[in-house]
Amino acid sequence: MAKSKAIYEYNPKYAIMLLEYFDVSSYERLELTDKDGNIVDVKIIPTDPPNFYGFARRIGIPSRAIKSWCETHEDFKEAWDRAEDCLKDIIFTNGLLGKYDKTVTIFSMKNLFGWTDRVEQKLELGSSLTSLLSQISQQNNSMDMMQQRELGIKEFDAIVTPESKHILEHAKTIVNAELLPEVNHVKG
């Protein structure tokens, strides 16, 4: 006998229930008072973050079924996106407050919400550009230093080999592509 896949009927009230389930404060503020009612301390107690598995269990439907509703019911997809925002807020806020372990917070934001480490981009010459500039330097250094001084800058520029000029043009193309990709994209 083949197993049949149960079909779980969607009800628009599930979108509202999802938002209600996820719409909780990030934390509770507990004020401790003395016998006269004066606040002597404030404790921040993090909320247990809601999750989609818990919501599915609450309404008695498998999580795979509620996820599939995002593909077929726009109102549920909108509620799902807003629920994710609520969850991000809870994890992010409590992480910043130091109420959740920082490693758990970082991995949660990366794995659940696609956060990535910021990549610092430094202007570094690519290996091909470095190689090209090295070739130019070797060609020009092969000329006797005394010749360079005697010729002066204008004459020296005039005798740069055609191969060096080609390499320089290629280097300019690489630099422009690396430094100004959006300008080249707009021009193209």
What is the per-residue pLDDT for 69? 95
What is the per-residue pLDDT for 34? 94
For 51-83, the pLDDT digits (tens) are 999 999 999 999 999 999 999 999 999 999 999
Euclidean distance between CA atoms 15 and 114, whole angstroms = 23
How many Cβ atoms are within 10 Å of 158's Cβ, its own excluded?
Answer: 9
What is the per-residue pLDDT for 133? 66
For 111-138, the pLDDT digits (tens) are 888 888 877 665 555 566 666 666 666 6
For 154-173, the pLDDT digits (tens) are 454 555 566 666 666 666 66
Euclidean distance between CA atoms 164 and 183, whole angstroms = 26
Identify which has the larger pLDDT, 95 or 142.
95
Helix residue spans in 23-161 (DSSP H): 52-59, 63-72, 74-96, 102-113, 127-142, 145-158
Q: What is the pTM of this model?
A: 0.57
